[in-house]
Chain A
């Protein structure tokens, strides 16, 4: 199985943004071994990227690889939904 390409869009360094980053890192570490790349994009600095990806809500996580393309909204605190959304079968039950 190929690498996971994950882009996390946040709006500024808010507590919610930080939660999302932390939650994402935890989920990846626990479930994806080393096979992932995370890119964090602050749309305050790159508003055009938000425009290109048509982001409305933040945080938004976009999984571009492996297919299919998936979009997750929220601070990723609901781990089961995140795993479901990313098509990951959890390692630890």
Chain B
């Protein structure tokens, strides 16, 4: 979607929420002065989103917020949100956060004896807004008020009055509501969506036995947004992080600057090194030398004084140390110098969304010049093919935006030949592809290397033989004619 080409309906201004990724898919945030309904099943992250809307306002722009709670007690919310790194008591003390406690009073019997309305609620919300000059309000969650008061008619009227009052006070409001199914009615009581100008749906669905959280903007009255479901994750110390996929611009500025791959012959094959902001995919069967190529890539960066981040999903730190040592490279010393950081974790330790969020944090904090991920195919087994593709897009766009020279390895399932689902998924997103293959030649298994693709540069198209020994990876002469590395046959 190209924003520039849309007809201008800029009357509806938006408030940047500060929730990572959400401002991208919403094309700028939530419509200012309006009410947005956030609907989702139990455990879909509604309460976190509501609280985060306020927390980011305070943290990033010093905008005060009011949290109207119908369900949980403020004490519980303070405690729960502390685990996300939000210090609500301090904000309360500073007059930036106020609770309107509308949670049920269980310790008293209450009797309905005549007609009533819920105007006290509105008075309390208005009072809280004035008290701290709030510009953001979150109401969590409407379902509980429907169980406190039986008369749907009264509640609907009251919600409408609240939405109208918020508009006239020019505060931007998020209201959460339960829904019973991931795909079905927007909200349980069927009235919530009529109150709100905008509807956002959170889902927490089981997809091929893997939990998959997504967020979808269903409608924004009078303004544009990206359509469809976007994955998100809840990061400790941070909250909701939306992975914006198509909203990411893939045409980041590309660098003409070349850096070494760590292997001088490979640099030559690539036309003089790899681009600083490019992603190389090294594809090969098990044992072809992918991890060695990673080691040389890291050592090459280190020797140039670059900061290197190694994400290992297949081997422990000790194994990596040992492997590298076998090739005369001392990871331990490099880590002690602070220029190398190795993170070794099992893919199954977290969801792919969590891994992505962690990797982003590491890149932001460590600020590496180069990144090696060994192997990206290990991550494929913990998610669906759609989830995997989203992950690859997410990480590819992120490392490019941060100008991190990256090398991803991918293990092909076949020993000979090179069919791989993984490759098909990610090959379009990577700038360069290096194939490492076994070939049968003269009754021997030999290794072949070729540069399949090198975006933006000339590269050698030859298929060369290479060998591995204690010194590393040695790329030799091209195989003779009639080499069929991709299909695995070598006819001699």
Contact = CB atoms under 8 A, between A and B. Distances in A.
Interface of A: 9, 11-12, 16, 19-20, 23, 43-44, 47-48, 50-51, 54-60, 68-78, 81-82, 84-85
A56 B145 CA distance: 10
A55 B109 contact: no
Interface of B: 100-103, 105, 108-121, 123-124, 126-128, 145, 148-149
A76 B113 contact: yes
A73 B127 contact: no
B101 A51 contact: yes
Given A54-B102, A57-B149, A70-B109, A43 B123 contact: yes
B124 A74 contact: no
A54 B128 CA distance: 13
Contacts of B114: 19-20, 23, 59, 73-78, 81-82
A22 B108 CA distance: 25
Nearest to A79: B113
If over half of A's interface residues share one DSSP class (helix, strand or loop), that class is named, otherwise mixed; here it is mixed
A34 to B, nearest CB: 23
If over half of B's interface residues share one DSSP class (helix, strand or loop), that class is named, otherwise mixed; here it is mixed
Given A11-B123, A47-B123, A50-B123, A58 B110 contact: no
A51 B124 contact: yes
Contacts of A23: 114
A1 to B, nearest CB: 20
7 contacts: A50-B123, A71-B111, A72-B111, A73-B111, A74-B112, A75-B114, A78-B114
A56 B122 CA distance: 8
Nearest to B127: A47
A43 B115 contact: no
Contacts of A19: 114
Given A57-B149, A72-B110, 16 more contacts: A50-B124, A54-B103, A55-B120, A55-B124, A70-B111, A71-B105, A71-B110, A73-B113, A75-B115, A77-B113, A77-B114, A77-B115, A78-B113, A81-B111, A84-B111, A85-B109
